[in-house]
Amino acid sequence: MTRTITLAQGNGGEENRALISGLFFRYLGNEILERAEDAAVLQTEKKMAMTTDSFTVSPIFFSGGDIGKLSVCGTCNDLAMMGAQPKYLTFAVMVEEGFETRKLEKIVRSIKKELAINGAKVVSGDTKVLPKGAIDGIMINTTGLGALSVEGVSVRNLEMGDAVVVSRDIGRHGAAIFAGREGIELESEIASDCASLWPMVEKVIANGVIPNAMRDATRGGLAAVLNEWVEASDVCIEIDEGSLPICEAVSGICELLGFEATALANEGTFVLAVRPENAERTLEVLRSFPGNEMAAVIGEVTDRYPKRVVLRSEWGTKRFMELPTGELLPRIC
């Protein structure tokens, strides 16, 4: 018989404690968590950055990751984008009664793996079991605390002439989730780009490059990040369409369904604005990470159309890159 999560395991009693020690302590244990006090006590020296995010995803296990990996990457990446090294995370999980225990264990294992990549710890946690139908499988919230290693990285700091760099090919997560959810059969599978970004950020900074802005291109994709930047910094960003790194599988999906790769979500892809003289060095660092071979300079910050993102085609025409809206729906005509 497959073991499943029961309501009793969320009630704070015996079964609940068994779940916590058998699963969460076993994989995520460390000296702070295991003290099992009412709150974690943390010692910090540097300025700290803090962020929180909740995660639901369907399917829970997708090509290239799962909700566990996502819940660590998502929060740690937000810290990394401020130039902060992820240190401490809280971990709250809501599980639907009847969820397979084996699946939960798999999720916790991928959390452990991803924490190690970031060098971060879970210092506080919570588990709730909800009656069947109250949620769709599982939902995770993580809050992260990170130590700032540089200051001044901000969406408001773009400067005229900055080179806009993207860390790898875009649109993978969105395309993978879409294909997985809709059961679209593809000849070559698209794996999500789901990954932790701190190691890359750390190395970029270690190489003497302090970006003016960094943002991971999650929901809304590249288009959302760039539009946010032009708003916040009151500049124009001009992008060369031909230089956008897009893998064949993703452009195939876009072609079939009428999507724009720039509007598809990513989970391990970020955009940097760096001084033009640092662009080459930034690319070199990024490309040294496996999977990021397609890192590219895609455009520059100008003052031509304030607060707008402009796409320049290879035949000399221009159009605005719009902020994606609403739910992704295929075009019919």
For the residues of 174-211, what is the DSSP string, one character each?
HHHHHHHHHT---SSPPPP-----HHHHHHHHHTT---
CA pair distance 74, 170, nearest whole angstrom: 17
Q: How far is the CB of 328 from another protein (least distance, A)?
A: 10
Binding range to another protein, per CB under 8 A, among 93-101, 161-169, 232-240, 250-258? 250-258
Site string for another protein, 184-223 (x = CB under 8 A): ----------------------------------------
Identity of the residue, 141 or 302, whose beta carbon is nearer to another protein in the bound complex: 302
Is 326 among the residues that bind another protein (CB under 8 A)?
yes
Is 330 among the residues that bind another protein (CB under 8 A)?
yes
Which one of residues 136, 248, 277, 293 is an interface residue with another protein (CB under 8 A)?
248
Q: How far is the CB of 184 from another protein (least distance, A)?
A: 8
Chain positions 256 to 315 lying near another protein, rule: CB under 8 A, are 256-257, 305, 310, 313-315
Is 181 among the residues that bind another protein (CB under 8 A)?
no
CA pair distance 222, 232, nearest whole angstrom: 15
Is 133 among the residues that bind another protein (CB under 8 A)?
no
Identity of the residue, 22 or 330, whose beta carbon is nearer to another protein in the bound complex: 330
| 67-80 helix and 198-206 helix, angle to the nearest 10 degrees | 30
Q: Are 31 and 122 in contact (CB under 8 A)?
A: no
Q: How far is the CB of 64 from another protein (least distance, A)?
A: 22
The total of other beta-carbon atoms located within 10 Å of residue 320's CB is 11
For the residues of 212-232, what is the DSSP string, one character each?
SEEEE--TTHHHHHHHHHHHH
Which one of residues 23, 84, 252, 293 is an interface residue with another protein (CB under 8 A)?
252
For the residues of 27-92, what is the DSSP string, one character each?
HH--HHHHT--SS------S-EEEEEEEE--SSSEETTEEHHHHHHHHHHHHHHTTTEEEEEEEEE
Chain positions 70 to 89 lying near another protein, rule: CB under 8 A, are none
Identity of the residue, 143 or 251, whose beta carbon is nearer to another protein in the bound complex: 251
Task: Please name the residues in contact with 188: beta carbons below 8 A apart, sequence gap of 6 or more.
Answer: 248, 249
CA pair distance 83, 150, nearest whole angstrom: 6
Is 1 among the residues that bind another protein (CB under 8 A)?
no
**Which residues bind to another protein, rule: CB under 8 A?**
182, 242, 248, 251-252, 255-257, 305, 310, 313-320, 322, 325-327, 329-333
